Amino acid sequence: MRLGDEVPGILTDKWLFVAGDTHKITERVKQYDSACRLVCHVATQQLGVARWVQESFAPGGAWMIAFRARDPETGDPITGEPDERVIWQMGRFDTWRQKNPGRMHRAAAEVLRRRQEQLSAAESEKNAEIAEEFVRGWKQRTGIKDKIVVPAGAGGTV
């Protein structure tokens, strides 16, 4: 299996597009649904299918993980070289998606909402770090010490 570029705009952790494989599953995924691509998770090497969604809640569109591939018999994640099980699961997912269009849209909207919350939290942390750095620099420039140490046995009580 040959891995390609990182999936841009993905709303989960790092996934890479699968550029090619021995059994040509990558091409069959594209033939089955032109909006889908075979992907592989960087850390776990689990296979999955990413779907391009272009909805009102995703201006311009976004890649989302449609499903993570699992063995139909054991339920274990499919890792390594892709095979027919990915196409079989893609068919099952497509049937489910067609029967439950509203649920699919709600799930995608929920993923986008959570991602926005994560980005907001990360931005808040970054802003807090910038503020702390500013205060630390100001204290250094003005000679204000962060900690005042009173030597032991200094005598008086406070």
Domain extents in the chain = 2-116
CB 40 within 8 A of CB 1: yes
Q: Which two tokens stand for residue 44?
A: 């776990």
Q: Which residues of 110-119 are buried (b: 16+ CB within 10 A; e: fewer)?
A: ebbeebeeee
Beta partners for 38?
Answer: 49
Side-chain-side CA neighbours of residue 52 (13 Å): 12
**The pLDDT of residue 137:** 82
Instruction: Give the separation between CA 113 and CA 67, rounded to whole angstroms.
Output: 18
pLDDT digits (tens, 9 = 90+) for 89-135: 888 877 766 676 676 667 667 767 776 777 777 788 888 888 888 88
